[in-house]
């Protein structure tokens, strides 16, 4: 996309933001990939031979809790080595200008909160949280990366607080996200192919409810045709341009 048309699209988005009272930003793996977070099928050594479906499900955990615990320790360690990128920070900065603002993310890496976002709905959980499958007590493992199963004082296995294959989304997070989507004036869909349901309903609900839908993604997706503005580019490059222009015009 040539610079002139990108500038025009940014102005169009900012026009709507200046009128908006409520904003939702829906994010996917593409946002985190720009920070260096590997996608689900990363190429790391021994894990390359195992399919995520064989590790990220409850039956696998009960069958081999040592292996699944070690895999999540491996993933969490990688995520601790990366930092939020310009896209994360731009989203957090934009939130400061709206009383009603929600980040709805499919990512489990905690990078939105680390960047300063306050109101975050984590549809697929957060790898930083863990809980006992028996008594539901929560645990923060911090910088501990166990390579074997860990147990609660009640004797129950401790698992990561993420949504595994075959599991329902956390009800409170999904309901809050849907409510935000159905009442927002502007909805961004950023770094997501929008094919993983029910999460991918979020931008659809927003559009159906009358929101101005903005897509930012390197490639066209399933929702590109319904977006009011679709910008093909990286979130870490495009979002700061939008937020800078918004702040400039807001201060005039």
- Let me know: does 215 contact 223? Beta carbons within 8 Å: yes
Other Cβ atoms less than 10 A from the Cβ of 152: the count is 17
Active site residues: 124
Interatomic CA distance for residues 167 and 6, integer angstroms:
40
Interatomic CA distance for residues 49 and 201, integer angstroms:
32
Please, is 247 exposed, middle or buried when counting C-beta atoms within 10 Å of its C-beta (0-12, 13-18, 19+)?
Answer: middle
Longest Cα–Cα distance of the chain, Å, equals 62
Task: Tell me which residue has tokens 């961004």.
Answer: 188
Please, is 212 exposed, middle or buried when counting C-beta atoms within 10 Å of its C-beta (0-12, 13-18, 19+)?
Answer: buried
Instruction: Give 199-204 contacts, CB < 8 A, sequence gap 24+.
Output: 199/104, 199/106, 199/123, 199/124, 199/169, 202/24, 202/26, 202/104, 202/177, 202/178, 203/26
Nearest to 106 by CA among 209, 30, 51: 30
């Amino acid at each position: 996309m040539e610079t002139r048309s990108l500038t025009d699209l940014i102005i169009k988005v900012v026009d709507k933001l200046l009128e908006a009272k409520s904003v939702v930003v829906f994010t996917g793996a593409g946002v985190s990939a720009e920070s260096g977070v590997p996608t689900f099928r990363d190429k790391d050594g021994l894990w390359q031979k195992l399919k995520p479906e064989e590790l990220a499900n409850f039956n696998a955990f009960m069958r081999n809790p040592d292996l699944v615990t070690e895999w999540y320790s491996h993933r969490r360690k990688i995520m601790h080595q990366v930092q939020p990128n310009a896209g994360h920070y731009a989203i957090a900065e934009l939130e400061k200008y709206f009383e009603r603002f929600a980040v709805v993310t499919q990512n489990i890496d905690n990078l939105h909160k680390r960047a300063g976002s306050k109101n975050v709905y984590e549809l697929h959980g957060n790898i930083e949280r863990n809980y006992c499958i028996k008594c539901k007590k929560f645990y923060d493992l911090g910088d501990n990366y166990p390579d074997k199963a860990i147990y609660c004082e009640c004797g129950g296995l401790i698992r990561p607080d993420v949504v595994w294959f075959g599991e329902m989304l956390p009800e409170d997070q999904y309901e809050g996200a849907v409510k935000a989507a159905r009442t927002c004036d502007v909805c961004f869909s950023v770094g997501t192919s929008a094919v993983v349901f029910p999460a991918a309903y979020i931008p659809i609900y927003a559009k159906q409810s009358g929101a101005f839908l903005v897509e930012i993604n390197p490639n066209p997706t399933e929702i590109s045709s319904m977006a009011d503005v679709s910008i093909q580019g990286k979130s870490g490059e495009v979002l700061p341009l939008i937020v800078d222009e918004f702040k400039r015009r807001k201060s005039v």
